[in-house]
Amino acid sequence: MIKQLQLRITLHEERQADILVYKASQALHVKKEDISAVKVLRKSVDARKKRIILNYKVEVYINEPVPENSSYTFDYKDVSNAKPIHIIGFGPAGMYAALRCIELGFKPIVLERGKNVQDRRRDLKAINQDHFVNEDSNYCFGEGGAGTYSDGKLYTRSLKRGDVRKIFENLVYHGATDQILVDAHPHIGTNKLPKVVTNIRETILKYGGEVHFETRVTDFNIKNSLIKSITLQNGNELDTEKIILATGHSARDIYYLLNEKDIQLEAKSFAMGVRVEHPQAIIDGIQYHCKGEKRDELLPAAAYSLVQQVNNRGVYSFCMCPGGFIVPAATANGEIVINGMSPSKRDNEYANSGIVVEINADKDLYKYEHHGALKGLEYQKDLERLAFTAGGRTQTAPAQRLTDFVEGNLSSNLNPTSYQPGLKSAPLHSLLPKLIGGSLRKGFKAFGEKMEGYYTSEANIIGVESRTSSPVNIPRNETLAHPEITNLFPCGEGGGYAGGIVSAAMDGERCAEAATGHL
């Protein structure tokens, strides 16, 4: 017999051996000896009250053997001589498109502008220490895309777009911890993702696919509404039949290329703002009701999720990184872009989160209308250049103490930070457009009322958090092909169809099915 249960356990009980077996036997009125195993399906922390509860969803096996293997299998076959599908970009969407192509019997040929995960590290070091951005290899471009060195959070609300469990099981198949199958907010970690990404590449190569690094696409050669070939930066030309475009939300050259060729694009709403950084102990104290004390060792570094309407506009936390650090995510010299991440243990002494403001592409960008579908992109670029200038024209980022930002004062000094290139005090309260700065100041005040202790001079705000999502949508029809270019399949975050690793991976699978005729 197999039964599913919801169990609630206190921190004190969690320390007891076989507590899940004991609780399950009580709930089901069976002997402990009759329980073969208790399999955890989901685990979450409820810290809303002073007495913290751990919620478990479990599967109880009563006099029943526990299955040894996952119910998911991955049927990869040799596609060395199969029909090719070209995939531009090797982030989550491109990787999962390639894997799905192999399952369906097609040969993926992946073209990635950046370097492999190992070689990428040198370019990340150059950004952090030398303030130099390699425009093809950075925190956004390279094997695994932005996700590889950007935390590895796997939480998604896109439960109807595909099989979320399959994505998770595939990550475990390629070396991720099986804890991601259990946690309510699963997370792999910046330090462990590169190995998983490498394993995915090796699977693609093993079964006959191709992955080409440092291979940037510079032109599409179009005839009769079809891309007949693509031109690479080295001048080589490749004939193509079907193309999955999975270049991510920061590949601005692709948007410019499509726009120059009069291929339909649409402006898309997005969000921009800053990243706020607190000592992790402050967030732990607020969320776990333990101010002035160290959090219990059984509890993870505390996270938060905040949202506030300011003048009918959303201000909200984005990509919250407990026990994490802030990184320079620029894709070109002359701009400052901020992002956050956490290692697998989330054991850094700082907590950071994007705090961003909704930007309505139809109503808010009237001064940029002459840029057409690229108006949001140009707005992004202007703020990133502004941050670069305010930071001192290096990757040093402009920053302000949180309370000074809200109260309109220049900070005479700043708090310590995890941001390696360093911070420079700047009046972000007056530099940011009123649309963003004014909304943020009211939002932070409201957040301080929701979380007592959050509004503090011990926190820094750092600018700018600008790459939350694509400001451009590449349209597609019901077959997932572009309505004008019938063999082009816009995919993932770059097309405007995803918002994270899992949703991008699922969209990659769907686009592979569409490109191969299996949708």
Give the model's confidence band at 156: pLDDT under 50 very low, under 70 low, under 90 confident, else very high.
low
Angle, alpha carbons 439-440-446 (nearest 5°): 95
Mean of the pLDDT values across residues 182-199?
88
- The phi, psi pair for 94, rounded to 5°, reads -65, -40
Going by C-alpha positions, the residue among 495, 513, 502, 507 that lies closest to residue 102 is 513
Across residues 361-373, what is the average pLDDT? 96
Question: Residue 345: what pLDDT?
Answer: 87
In contact, 379 and 368? CB cutoff 8 Å: yes
Q: Are 353 and 346 in contact (CB under 8 A)?
A: no
H or E segment to which residue 26 belongs: helix 19-28
Q: Which residue has the tokens 């506030």?
A: 308
Helix (H) or strand (E) holding 135: none
- pLDDT for the residue numbered 191: 83
pLDDT at res. 175: 93
Span(s) in the chain for CATH 3.50.50.60:
84-266+478-515
Cis-peptide into 472, omega within 30 deg = no
Retrieve residue 73's tokens. Answer: 């299998």
Residue range 38-59: mean pLDDT, rounded: 94
Q: CB neighbours of 95 closer than 8 A, spacing ≥ 6? A: 144, 197, 200, 201, 204, 505, 508
pLDDT over 80 at 69, yes or no: no
CATH 3.20.20.220 fits 84-266+478-515, yes or no: no
Intervals of CATH 3.30.70.2700 along the chain: 2-62
Residue pLDDT, tens place only, 214-260: 999 999 999 999 999 999 999 999 999 999 999 999 999 999 999 99
Which tens digits make up the pLDDT trace of 279-325?
999 999 999 999 889 999 999 999 999 999 999 999 999 999 999 99
pLDDT band, very low/low/confident/very high, at 481 (cuts 50, 70, 90): very high
- Closest alpha carbon to 338 in 414, 420, 408: 420
Q: What is the pLDDT of residue 186?
A: 85
Lowest mean pLDDT among 35-39, 191-195, 391-395: 191-195
Q: Of 158, 124, 90, 179, give the one whose Cα is nearest residue 498.
A: 158
159 pLDDT more than 70:
no
List of residues 6+ apart from 74 with CB closer than 8 A? 99, 103, 170, 173
State the Cα–Cα distance between residues 373 and 349, nearest whole angstrom.
Answer: 42
Q: What is the per-residue pLDDT for 245? A: 98
* Pairwise CA distance, residues 423 & 438, whole Å: 22
CATH topology for 2-62 is Alpha-Beta Plaits (3.30.70)
Q: Shortest CA distance to 107 belongs to which of 131, 76, 138?
A: 76
Tokens in use for 474?
């590449």
For range 486-507, the mean pLDDT: 94
Contacts of 130 (CB under 8 A, 6+ apart): none
Q: Residue 157's pLDDT is what? A: 62
Phi, psi of 361 (to 5 degrees): -65, -25
Q: In this structure, are residues 107 and 83 in contact, taking their beta carbons and an 8 Å threshold? A: yes
HEC states along 386-416? HHHHHCCCCCCEEEEEHHHHHHCCCCCCCCC
DSSP code for 164 = H
Q: What's the pTM? A: 0.94
> How many Å apart are CA 189 and CA 325, to the nearest integer?
12
Q: What is the largest CA-CA distance in the chain?
A: 74
Distance CA 186, CA 184 (A): 6
- Residue 112: pLDDT above 80? yes
Average confidence (pLDDT) over 194-204: 96
pLDDT in the model for residue 187: 83
459, 461, 464, 462: which is closest to 278 by C-alpha? 459
Task: Give per-residue pLDDT as tens, 411-429.
Answer: 999 999 999 999 999 999 9
Q: What is the DSSP string of 233-284?
A: TTS-EEE-S-EEE---TT-HHHHHHHHHTT---EE--EEEEEEEEEEHHHHH
Side-chain half-sphere exposure of 173, counting CA atoms within 13 A: 19
Q: What radius of gyration do the chain's Cα atoms show?
A: 24
Tokens representing residue 462 in the block = 């750092």
Are residues 322 and 288 in contact, defined by beta-carbon separation less than 8 angstroms? no
